[in-house]
Amino acid sequence: MRSENQQQRTEDIPAVCGGHPVREAVNRLPYARPQILAEDIRAVEDVLHTTFLTTGPAIDRMEAHLCEVTGARYAVAVSNGTAALHLAVMAAGLTEGDELITTPITFAASANCARYVGARPVFADIDPQTWEIDPAEIERRITPRTRAVVPVDYTGQTPALEQIRELCDRHHLTMIEDAAHSLGTVYRGKKVGTWGDMTTFSFHAIKTVSGGEGGAVLTDDEELYRKLRTLRTHGITRDPAELQYPSEGPWYYELQTLSMNYRLTDIQAALIDSQLNHLADFAARRRQIREKYDAAFAGIPQLILQQSLPETEAVRHLYVLRLNPDRLQIDRRQFFDALEAEGVGCNVNYIPVYRLPYYEKLGYERGLCPQAEALYASMLSIPFYSAMTDQDVDDVIRAVRRLCAYYQKA
Ligand SMILES: Cc1ncc(COP(=O)(O)O)c(C=O)c1O
């Protein structure tokens, strides 16, 4: 159906280029969507028949499953990936005046986690080939106030994690890997989940494994694990080994520090636990689609593809195209609109975080990270998810190719 629409839309191309409003596309292919299978629905139903709707056995199962999948020793399930980052920063002890280094090409949460505790995010520029945070740029921005580095596995690829691990060790910094995009990715033979002192995941609706919402912090460090468990639920502990005063009875608990309610429900945990059973299949399908896109787009001079480190076996969450302005007559906005007019849903991941008005008001200035800004000006994300059919993938490839050919600069 969409292919027919595309045939019909070929005539529309000059109108789009001329800035006319884009017509509502029929059968629009979204840029992302979850894949929920019958057994996932049954797993959720099963929980609804139990007495535990929150913090019950499904949480324990999901946490154990995450440890099994990643090789980490401990997992703490929380309400979303943002909560995971916030708790990781709290557990690392960051406070007012401290600095945390991260990439600008990420969702705001990777930087906001510093602000929640009064710390200052510092943005290090990206590598122009991989679009991941550049370790040399991190090193350049370390000051006596730096306490943590938050490398983000942008699109599911990774930055040079070994170098970042090494520089964190050398400067005594906590490494909190934001792996919201990279569940299942392997770097130098070791799974994402064990490179950082803590690793955070998101199970937002469109992530490879979905819980609607959901998150987790993984660590190999028992002390951090204990802190994270307490911080997840207000800062309350019932563990006899941790109590400050003798227990007054079975009801007794102590609030020892101030935190939030960042608990995940058992309903979501059951969905995530069940979805984790499909991770290998979802990853294989994402790999297939990525290979098909890479092969189709590689020789097109109008496009620049994200390079991956040879030591990274990625499970991609996003597929991002960079447009080559020297070879195209139209800019990113026009290309975006034209693809949407072809029924191909797009997005832009991401606006450099420091350019968002909240950060501008804090004094961050444009031009801080030139590579990140150049990437932002010319990139867009195209449909990429495990539930895409071969026909969907072909439709996207055909539409992208046609626009590149039509708008090529001589
Ligand atoms: C890189 C990155 N970090 C953190 C988050 C926050 O995760 P959540 O939406 O689960 O709070 C996201 C969200 O999509 C993300 O893409």
- Provide the CATH number for the domain around residue 179: 3.40.640.10
- Supply the CATH number for residue 331's domain: 3.90.1150.10
pLDDT digits (tens, 9 = 90+) for 392-404: 999 999 999 999 9
- In the reported structure, the alpha carbon of residue 244 is separated from the centroid of ligand 1 by a whole-number distance in angstroms of 36
Is the pTM value of this prediction over 0.75? yes
List, for residues 263-318, the tens digit of each pLDDT value. Answer: 999 999 999 999 999 999 999 999 999 999 999 999 999 999 999 999 999 999 99
As given in the structure block, the two tokens for residue 318 are 């996003």
The verdict on 343 and 360 lying in the same domain is yes
261 and 393 inside one domain: no
How confident is the model at residue 253, as a pLDDT? Answer: 98
Same domain, 21 and 84: no
How many of the other CB atoms lie within 10 Å of CB of 28?
A: 16
SS3 13: helix
**Distance between CA 342 and CA 158 in Å, rounded?**
32
If asked whether residues 213 and 227 sit together in one domain, one would say yes
Choosing from 254, 276, 298, the residue where a domain stops is 276
CA gap 66, 304 in Å, rounded: 35
The kind and range of the H/E element at 89 are helix 81-91
Q: Do 246 and 264 sit in the same domain of this protein?
A: yes
pLDDT for 27 equals 81
Between the two ends of the chain, the Cα-to-Cα distance in Å is 33
Residues with a catalytic annotation lie at: 207
Give the tokens for residue 307: 């390079």
DSSP labels, 266-308: HHHHHHHHHHHTTHHHHHHHHHHHHHHHHHHHTT-TTEEEPP-
Same domain, 84 and 202: yes
Mark which of 261, 276, 291 sits at the end of a domain. Answer: 276
Instruction: Extract the tokens encoding 146.
Output: 């730096």
For ligand 1, the distance from its centroid to the CA atom of residue 117, given in whole angstroms, is: 18
Q: Do 191 and 116 lie in a common domain?
A: yes
Q: Which two tokens stand for residue 408?
A: 């090529």
Same domain (yes/no): 143, 259: yes
Do residues 311 and 176 share a domain? no
Ligand 1 shell residues, CB under 6 Å: 80-82, 106-107, 109-110, 152, 178, 180-181, 202, 204, 215
* Residue to mutate (ligand 1; options 157, 202, 217, 353; most atoms within 8 A of CB): 202
Measured at the CA of 278, the angle between CA 277 and CA 283, to 5 degrees, comes to 130
Q: Which atom of ligand 1 is nearest to the CA of 349?
A: 16
Q: Could you say which of 222, 249, 276 is where a domain stops?
A: 276
The edge-to-edge listing of strands for the beta sheet with 74-78 is: 74-78, 215-219, 198-202, 174-178, 146-150, 99-102, 120-123
Cross-strand partners of 45? none
Q: What stretches in the chain show pLDDT beneath 50?
A: 1-12, 14-24
Q: Are residues 296 and 319 in the same domain?
A: yes
Nearest to 325 by CA among 378, 366, 367: 378
Q: Ligand 1 center to residue 203 CA distance, Å?
A: 8
Amino acid 26: pLDDT: 60
pLDDT, residue 410, reads 79
Same domain, 7 and 82: no
| Residue span of the structural domain in which 256 resides | 38-276
Same-domain check for residues 163 and 299: no
Phi, psi of 6 (to 5 degrees): -65, -40
What count of Cα atoms within 13 Å lies in the side-chain half-sphere of residue 341? Answer: 24
Mapping DSSP to helix (H, G, I), strand (E, B) and coil, where does residue 251 land?
A: coil
**Cα separations (Å) of 154 from 71, 177, 350?**
21, 11, 10
For 15-59, the pLDDT digits (tens) are 444 443 344 456 899 999 999 999 999 999 999 999 889 999 999
Q: How many domains does the chain have?
A: 2
Q: Please say whether the beta carbons of 218 and 70 come within 8 A.
A: yes
